[in-house]
Amino acid sequence: MLYLVGLGLSYKSDITVRGLEAVRKCSRVYLEHYTSILMAASQEELEEYYGKEIILADREMVETGSDKILHNAENEDVAFLVVGDPFGATTHTDLVLRAKHSNIPVEIIHNASVMNAAGSCGLQLYNFGQTVSMVFFTDNWRPDSWYDKIWENRKIGLHTLVLLDIKVKEQSIENMARGRLIYEPPRYMSISQCCEQLLEVEENRGTKAYTPDTPAVAISRLGSGSQSFKVGTIKELSEYDAGEPLHSLVILGRQCHDLELEYLLEFTDNREKFTNDVRADQEYFKPAPWVPPTEPADE
């Protein structure tokens, strides 16, 4: 059996009882180690808590070396641990398909993830649209395909959850080209950098999917003891120091309910300004009034 086990967001004890029971009976335990990190627990702490040795699974192992993970899983129990929920990344769907194609039974054990815990900022989950990912820009790679998804969300009034890039066990282009297994220090995108990139792309596109004055919510260390929220415009948050990672961002849609706004006002020092920013954004993105078609003139 292959078990995909969600670990939750922060603590070693965030794993479910069912997940813990599964891990403790497995002969091999892998920890996915590139889409997210467990903020308040080290590998050593997890090993002590589970009573099992943990094998770190980087992107290369999961995407191109999954045969190693699935080896003999039809005869023994193997656990694949994922921070958050097992289906928080498409890579994990691919692993399940590979297992099924090899006739390996699979059991999924779910847990909390950023996709549902983001509702703790006060915005209703059913008012969210497509989720997008913001990657680190480089000198010659500045992808902006996510812009159209934000625009689509905004046109129908929905909030957009923006997941911020992390780089763990990544090689520089030079080391990769030379075949040197030298890895860069871990990097975690900040709220301010995400907002700077948002503003850069909007300036280049110029179609105003959002503006510097669009309200947003900065989410820091979601699910941990130091979890915090801060609201402001994208421009204001581009200058905001959100502290230690991990960070996420929500861009508000124009259909911000009064109850949502009331909750968000707990996270600002200037309630009147933020209220005015939200109202102005709602007015700017309000759809044009419907006008009935005119009847064609009789000839």
Of 97, 142, 146, 155, give the one whose Cα is nearest residue 285. Answer: 155
What span, in angstroms and rounded, lies between the C-alpha atoms of 242 and 222? 12
What span, in angstroms and rounded, lies between the C-alpha atoms of 233 and 211? 9
Residues present in the chain in total: 299
- Other C-beta atoms within 10 Å of 61: how many? 18
Specify binding-site residues: 9, 85, 88, 113-114, 164, 222, 247
- Other C-beta atoms within 10 Å of 38: how many? 24
Of 8, 141, 197, 172, give the one whose Cα is nearest residue 86. Answer: 8
- In 24-113, where do the E strands start and end? 28-32, 55-57, 78-82, 106-109
Whether a cis peptide bond, with omega within 30° of 0, leads into 246 is: yes
Specify binding-site residues for S-adenosyl-L-methionine: 9, 85, 88, 113-114, 164, 222, 247
What span, in angstroms and rounded, lies between the C-alpha atoms of 281 and 79? 46
The DSSP-derived string for 182-209 is --PPPEE--HHHHHHHHHHHHHHH-S-S
